[in-house]
Protein backbone atom coordinates (compact mmCIF):
# COMPACT_ATOMS: atom_id res chain seq x y z
CA UNK A 1 0.00 0.00 0.00
CA UNK A 2 1.29 3.44 -0.98
CA UNK A 3 1.81 5.63 2.06
CA UNK A 4 2.66 9.31 1.95
CA UNK A 5 4.68 11.14 4.58
CA UNK A 6 2.66 14.30 3.88
CA UNK A 7 -1.01 14.87 4.65
CA UNK A 8 -3.45 17.33 3.02
CA UNK A 9 -2.40 20.20 5.27
CA UNK A 10 1.24 19.54 4.45
CA UNK A 11 0.44 19.75 0.74
CA UNK A 12 -1.28 23.09 1.24
CA UNK A 13 1.68 24.38 3.23
CA UNK A 14 4.05 23.18 0.51
CA UNK A 15 1.99 25.05 -2.07
CA UNK A 16 2.22 28.21 0.05
CA UNK A 17 5.99 27.77 0.40
CA UNK A 18 6.43 27.35 -3.37
CA UNK A 19 4.42 30.52 -3.99
CA UNK A 20 6.54 32.43 -1.47
CA UNK A 21 9.71 31.26 -3.22
CA UNK A 22 8.31 32.21 -6.62
CA UNK A 23 7.22 35.64 -5.37
CA UNK A 24 10.57 36.25 -3.72
CA UNK A 25 9.37 36.83 -0.18
CA UNK A 26 6.51 36.89 2.29
CA UNK A 27 5.33 40.43 1.56
CA UNK A 28 5.24 39.82 -2.20
CA UNK A 29 3.29 36.58 -1.63
CA UNK A 30 0.51 38.28 0.38
CA UNK A 31 -1.27 39.66 -2.68
CA UNK A 32 -0.56 36.55 -4.72
CA UNK A 33 -2.08 34.21 -2.12
CA UNK A 34 -4.63 36.61 -0.57
CA UNK A 35 -3.32 35.60 2.84
CA UNK A 36 -1.86 37.53 5.74
CA UNK A 37 1.88 37.47 6.33
CA UNK A 38 1.30 35.71 9.65
CA UNK A 39 -0.62 32.88 7.95
CA UNK A 40 2.02 32.53 5.26
CA UNK A 41 4.76 32.41 7.88
CA UNK A 42 2.88 29.71 9.81
CA UNK A 43 2.59 27.49 6.73
CA UNK A 44 6.28 27.85 5.90
CA UNK A 45 7.24 27.12 9.50
CA UNK A 46 5.10 23.97 9.47
CA UNK A 47 6.86 22.73 6.33
CA UNK A 48 10.23 23.39 7.94
CA UNK A 49 9.21 21.51 11.10
CA UNK A 50 7.87 18.62 9.02
CA UNK A 51 11.12 18.32 7.06
CA UNK A 52 13.37 19.18 9.97
CA UNK A 53 15.38 21.83 8.09
CA UNK A 54 15.34 25.58 7.59
CA UNK A 55 14.13 26.37 4.09
CA UNK A 56 14.62 30.12 3.91
CA UNK A 57 16.19 33.10 5.61
CA UNK A 58 13.84 35.99 6.29
CA UNK A 59 14.43 39.21 8.12
CA UNK A 60 15.90 42.71 7.70
CA UNK A 61 18.43 41.38 5.20
CA UNK A 62 15.62 40.14 2.96
CA UNK A 63 14.34 36.77 1.77
CA UNK A 64 16.69 34.02 0.62
CA UNK A 65 16.25 30.30 0.09
CA UNK A 66 18.70 28.01 1.85
CA UNK A 67 20.35 25.19 -0.14
CA UNK A 68 17.75 22.84 1.41
CA UNK A 69 15.03 25.29 0.36
CA UNK A 70 16.26 25.30 -3.24
CA UNK A 71 15.95 21.50 -3.36
CA UNK A 72 12.55 21.54 -1.64
CA UNK A 73 11.12 24.12 -4.07
CA UNK A 74 12.27 22.17 -7.11
CA UNK A 75 10.89 18.82 -5.90
CA UNK A 76 7.69 20.25 -4.39
CA UNK A 77 6.88 22.25 -7.53
CA UNK A 78 7.32 19.16 -9.68
CA UNK A 79 5.14 17.09 -7.32
CA UNK A 80 2.38 19.68 -7.19
CA UNK A 81 2.32 19.96 -10.98
CA UNK A 82 2.01 16.17 -11.18
CA UNK A 83 -0.99 16.29 -8.85
CA UNK A 84 -2.59 18.95 -11.06
CA UNK A 85 -2.42 16.50 -13.98
CA UNK A 86 -4.63 13.87 -12.31
CA UNK A 87 -8.02 15.42 -13.06
CA UNK A 88 -7.25 16.42 -16.68
CA UNK A 89 -5.86 12.97 -17.47
CA UNK A 90 -8.88 11.22 -15.95
CA UNK A 91 -11.12 13.56 -17.95
CA UNK A 92 -9.20 12.57 -21.08
CA UNK A 93 -10.08 8.91 -20.52
CA UNK A 94 -13.72 9.97 -20.91
CA UNK A 95 -12.98 12.00 -24.03
CA UNK A 96 -12.92 15.40 -22.30
CA UNK A 97 -9.68 17.38 -22.42
CA UNK A 98 -9.13 19.96 -19.70
CA UNK A 99 -6.44 21.68 -17.67
CA UNK A 100 -3.58 24.06 -18.47
CA UNK A 101 -1.27 23.79 -21.47
CA UNK A 102 1.98 25.67 -20.80
CA UNK A 103 3.60 27.02 -23.96
CA UNK A 104 6.97 28.75 -24.13
CA UNK A 105 7.50 30.77 -27.30
CA UNK A 106 10.71 32.31 -28.61
CA UNK A 107 10.59 36.09 -29.01
CA UNK A 108 9.05 37.56 -32.17
CA UNK A 109 7.93 34.20 -33.58
CA UNK A 110 4.54 35.77 -34.29
CA UNK A 111 6.13 38.18 -36.76
CA UNK A 112 7.22 35.35 -39.08
CA UNK A 113 4.88 35.08 -42.11
CA UNK A 114 4.79 31.28 -41.85
CA UNK A 115 3.93 31.18 -38.14
CA UNK A 116 0.45 29.74 -37.60
CA UNK A 117 0.41 29.72 -33.80
CA UNK A 118 -2.69 31.94 -33.46
CA UNK A 119 -4.65 29.68 -35.82
CA UNK A 120 -3.47 26.57 -33.97
CA UNK A 121 -4.46 27.98 -30.57
CA UNK A 122 -7.86 29.00 -31.95
CA UNK A 123 -8.37 25.46 -33.27
CA UNK A 124 -7.39 24.05 -29.86
CA UNK A 125 -10.07 26.22 -28.29
CA UNK A 126 -12.69 24.81 -30.65
CA UNK A 127 -11.64 21.18 -30.24
CA UNK A 128 -10.91 21.29 -26.50
CA UNK A 129 -12.65 24.33 -24.97
CA UNK A 130 -11.72 23.29 -21.42
CA UNK A 131 -7.97 23.45 -22.09
CA UNK A 132 -6.43 26.75 -20.99
CA UNK A 133 -3.27 27.76 -22.87
CA UNK A 134 -0.65 29.56 -20.75
CA UNK A 135 1.87 31.37 -22.92
CA UNK A 136 5.19 32.93 -21.98
CA UNK A 137 7.77 34.49 -24.29
CA UNK A 138 11.34 33.45 -23.44
CA UNK A 139 14.87 33.47 -24.82
CA UNK A 140 16.50 30.32 -26.19
CA UNK A 141 18.34 29.43 -22.92
CA UNK A 142 15.22 30.16 -20.86
CA UNK A 143 13.12 27.83 -23.02
CA UNK A 144 15.61 24.98 -22.57
CA UNK A 145 15.62 25.45 -18.81
CA UNK A 146 11.82 25.60 -18.69
CA UNK A 147 11.62 22.32 -20.62
CA UNK A 148 14.08 20.60 -18.30
CA UNK A 149 12.21 21.84 -15.23
CA UNK A 150 8.84 20.88 -16.76
CA UNK A 151 7.55 24.45 -16.49
CA UNK A 152 6.36 24.30 -20.09
CA UNK A 153 4.71 21.44 -21.97
CA UNK A 154 5.83 22.63 -25.40
CA UNK A 155 8.47 25.16 -26.45
CA UNK A 156 8.37 26.90 -29.82
CA UNK A 157 11.96 27.69 -30.79
CA UNK A 158 14.67 27.10 -33.35
CA UNK A 159 16.60 23.87 -33.66
CA UNK A 160 20.34 24.25 -34.18
CA UNK A 161 23.18 21.92 -35.26
CA UNK A 162 23.97 19.45 -32.48
CA UNK A 163 20.72 20.30 -30.70
CA UNK A 164 19.51 16.74 -29.96
CA UNK A 165 18.43 16.88 -26.33
CA UNK A 166 14.67 17.01 -26.97
CA UNK A 167 12.00 15.85 -29.43
CA UNK A 168 11.26 18.20 -32.35
CA UNK A 169 8.26 18.76 -34.61
CA UNK A 170 9.36 20.98 -37.55
CA UNK A 171 7.06 23.96 -38.18
CA UNK A 172 8.68 26.60 -40.43
CA UNK A 173 12.08 27.84 -41.58
CA UNK A 174 13.93 30.90 -40.28
CA UNK A 175 17.16 32.64 -41.27
CA UNK A 176 19.55 35.00 -39.44
CA UNK A 177 22.07 37.52 -40.78
CA UNK A 178 24.28 40.26 -39.38
CA UNK A 179 22.63 43.67 -39.69
CA UNK A 180 23.76 47.24 -39.17
CA UNK A 181 22.30 50.71 -39.51
CA UNK A 182 22.50 52.50 -42.86
CA UNK A 183 24.69 55.56 -42.30
CA UNK A 184 23.13 58.44 -44.23
CA UNK A 185 25.77 60.98 -43.25
CA UNK A 186 28.29 59.48 -45.69
CA UNK A 187 30.77 58.50 -43.01
CA UNK A 188 31.57 55.14 -44.57
CA UNK A 189 32.84 56.36 -47.90
CA UNK A 190 35.22 54.04 -49.72
CA UNK A 191 36.25 52.38 -46.51
CA UNK A 192 32.67 51.54 -45.58
CA UNK A 193 33.16 47.78 -45.69
CA UNK A 194 36.19 47.88 -43.44
CA UNK A 195 34.53 50.30 -41.04
CA UNK A 196 31.50 48.06 -40.80
CA UNK A 197 33.71 45.12 -39.92
CA UNK A 198 35.23 47.11 -37.08
CA UNK A 199 31.87 47.70 -35.43
CA UNK A 200 31.40 45.43 -32.39
CA UNK A 201 28.89 42.60 -32.62
CA UNK A 202 26.18 42.80 -29.96
CA UNK A 203 26.40 39.66 -27.82
CA UNK A 204 23.70 37.40 -26.48
CA UNK A 205 23.74 33.74 -25.49
CA UNK A 206 22.91 32.16 -28.85
CA UNK A 207 24.61 29.44 -30.96
CA UNK A 208 24.94 31.63 -34.08
CA UNK A 209 26.39 34.60 -32.20
CA UNK A 210 29.05 32.35 -30.70
CA UNK A 211 29.81 30.90 -34.15
CA UNK A 212 30.28 34.37 -35.67
CA UNK A 213 32.59 35.49 -32.87
CA UNK A 214 34.58 32.24 -33.10
CA UNK A 215 35.17 32.98 -36.80
CA UNK A 216 37.25 35.98 -35.84
CA UNK A 217 35.63 38.47 -38.21
CA UNK A 218 33.96 40.50 -35.46
CA UNK A 219 34.82 41.64 -31.96
CA UNK A 220 32.44 41.09 -29.09
CA UNK A 221 30.30 44.08 -28.18
CA UNK A 222 27.95 44.71 -25.26
CA UNK A 223 25.56 42.06 -23.97
CA UNK A 224 21.88 42.32 -24.86
CA UNK A 225 18.89 40.54 -23.36
CA UNK A 226 16.90 39.64 -26.45
CA UNK A 227 16.15 40.75 -30.01
CA UNK A 228 14.65 44.10 -29.03
CA UNK A 229 17.79 45.04 -27.14
CA UNK A 230 20.02 43.95 -30.03
CA UNK A 231 17.97 45.96 -32.54
CA UNK A 232 18.08 49.01 -30.28
CA UNK A 233 21.88 48.94 -30.17
CA UNK A 234 22.18 48.24 -33.90
CA UNK A 235 19.90 51.19 -34.68
CA UNK A 236 22.40 53.55 -33.02
CA UNK A 237 24.83 52.86 -35.85
CA UNK A 238 27.62 52.02 -33.44
CA UNK A 239 27.12 48.22 -33.42
CA UNK A 240 26.09 45.34 -35.64
CA UNK A 241 23.95 42.42 -34.53
CA UNK A 242 22.71 39.02 -35.60
CA UNK A 243 18.95 39.20 -36.17
CA UNK A 244 16.24 37.06 -37.84
CA UNK A 245 15.49 38.30 -41.35
CA UNK A 246 11.72 38.35 -40.77
CA UNK A 247 12.20 40.56 -37.70
CA UNK A 248 14.33 43.04 -39.64
CA UNK A 249 11.67 43.14 -42.35
CA UNK A 250 9.23 44.36 -39.69
CA UNK A 251 11.44 47.11 -38.24
CA UNK A 252 14.17 47.58 -40.82
CA UNK A 253 12.47 50.29 -42.87
CA UNK A 254 11.72 52.46 -39.87
CA UNK A 255 15.21 52.15 -38.45
CA UNK A 256 17.07 51.79 -41.77
CA UNK A 257 18.77 48.45 -41.12
CA UNK A 258 20.38 46.27 -43.76
CA UNK A 259 22.43 43.10 -43.94
CA UNK A 260 26.19 43.64 -43.89
CA UNK A 261 28.26 42.76 -46.94
CA UNK A 262 29.81 39.35 -46.49
CA UNK A 263 27.50 38.47 -43.62
CA UNK A 264 27.06 34.74 -43.05
CA UNK A 265 23.51 33.48 -43.37
CA UNK A 266 22.25 30.91 -40.90
CA UNK A 267 19.21 28.74 -41.61
CA UNK A 268 17.31 26.61 -39.13
CA UNK A 269 13.84 25.26 -38.47
CA UNK A 270 11.46 26.59 -35.85
CA UNK A 271 10.05 23.54 -34.05
CA UNK A 272 7.58 22.52 -31.40
CA UNK A 273 9.95 21.09 -28.80
CA UNK A 274 9.06 18.60 -26.06
CA UNK A 275 11.06 16.76 -23.42
CA UNK A 276 11.13 12.99 -24.12
CA UNK A 277 11.82 12.32 -20.43
CA UNK A 278 8.49 13.83 -19.42
CA UNK A 279 5.30 11.79 -20.04
CA UNK A 280 3.13 13.61 -22.54
CA UNK A 281 -0.47 14.63 -21.87
CA UNK A 282 -3.50 14.21 -24.11
CA UNK A 283 -3.90 17.99 -24.44
CA UNK A 284 -0.24 18.41 -25.44
CA UNK A 285 -0.58 15.60 -28.00
CA UNK A 286 -3.68 17.29 -29.44
CA UNK A 287 -1.93 20.64 -29.78
CA UNK A 288 1.08 19.03 -31.45
CA UNK A 289 -1.28 17.38 -33.95
CA UNK A 290 -2.95 20.74 -34.62
CA UNK A 291 0.42 22.44 -35.12
CA UNK A 292 1.34 19.74 -37.62
CA UNK A 293 -1.91 20.38 -39.51
CA UNK A 294 -1.22 24.11 -39.82
CA UNK A 295 2.49 24.02 -40.62
CA UNK A 296 3.94 22.30 -43.64
CA UNK A 297 7.21 20.48 -42.96
CA UNK A 298 10.10 22.69 -44.19
CA UNK A 299 11.80 21.30 -47.26
CA UNK A 300 15.32 22.12 -46.09
CA UNK A 301 17.22 20.75 -43.12
CA UNK A 302 19.38 22.55 -40.61
CA UNK A 303 22.31 24.30 -42.17
CA UNK A 304 24.64 27.22 -41.69
CA UNK A 305 26.37 29.00 -44.52
Do 79 and 181 share a domain, yes or no? no
- Whether 66 and 197 share a structural domain: no
Q: Give the distance from CA 16 to its chain's centroid.
A: 25
Within-domain flag for 288: yes
pLDDT at 4: 47
Residue 117 lies in a domain: yes
Domain boundary among 31, 54, 84: 84
What pLDDT is recorded for position 87? 64
pLDDT, position 91: 62
Q: Find the distance separating the first CA and the last CA of the chain, reported in whole Å.
A: 59
Number of domains in the chain: 2
Among 98, 207, 225, 216, CA closest to 162? 207
Based on the fold, state whether residues 103 and 250 are members of the same structural domain: yes
pTM over the 0.85 mark: no
> Which residue range is the domain that position 129 belongs to?
93-305
pLDDT score of 301 = 39
Select from 296, 269, 271, 274 the least CA-distant residue to 285.
Answer: 274
> Is residue 253 situated within a structural domain?
yes
- Whether 197 and 304 share a structural domain: yes
- Report the DSSP beta bridge partners of residue 103: 135, 154
Domain stops at, among 30, 56, 84:
84
Residues 114 and 251 in one domain: yes
Residue 168 sits in a domain whose CATH number is 3.40.190.290
Beta-carbon contacts of 227 under 8 Å, excluding residues fewer than 6 positions away, are 107, 108, 243, 244, 247
Same structural domain, 119 and 56: no
In a domain, 2, yes or no: no
Strands 130-138 and 98-106: parallel
Determine the pLDDT at residue 153.
93
Same domain assignment for residues 129 and 25:
no
304 and 213 assigned to the same domain: yes
H/E element, 283 = helix 282-294
Identify the CATH number of the domain in which residue 53 sits: 1.10.10.10
Q: Is residue 170 located within the same domain as residue 304?
A: yes
Last residue of a domain, one of 84, 107, 127: 84
Shared domain for 151 and 217, answered yes or no, is: yes
Per-residue confidence in pLDDT tens, the chain, 305 aa: 334 466 667 778 888 888 888 888 888 888 777 788 888 888 888 888 888 888 888 777 778 888 888 888 888 777 776 666 666 566 666 566 778 899 999 989 999 999 999 999 999 999 999 999 999 999 888 899 889 888 899 999 999 888 889 999 999 999 999 999 987 444 444 444 445 458 999 999 888 999 999 988 899 999 998 899 999 999 999 999 999 999 999 987 788 899 998 899 999 999 999 999 888 888 899 999 999 999 864 443 334 43
pLDDT given for residue 222 in this prediction: 96
Q: Do 244 and 134 lie in a common domain?
A: yes
Amino acid sequence: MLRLDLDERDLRSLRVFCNVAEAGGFSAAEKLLHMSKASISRHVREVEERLGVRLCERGPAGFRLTPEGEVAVKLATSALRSLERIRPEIDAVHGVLSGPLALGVVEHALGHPDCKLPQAIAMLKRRAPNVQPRIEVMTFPELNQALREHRVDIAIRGRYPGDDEFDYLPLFAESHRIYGAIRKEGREGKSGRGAARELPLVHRSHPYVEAVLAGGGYVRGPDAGGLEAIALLVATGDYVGLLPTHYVQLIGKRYALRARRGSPTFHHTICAVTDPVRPSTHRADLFLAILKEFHARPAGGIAAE
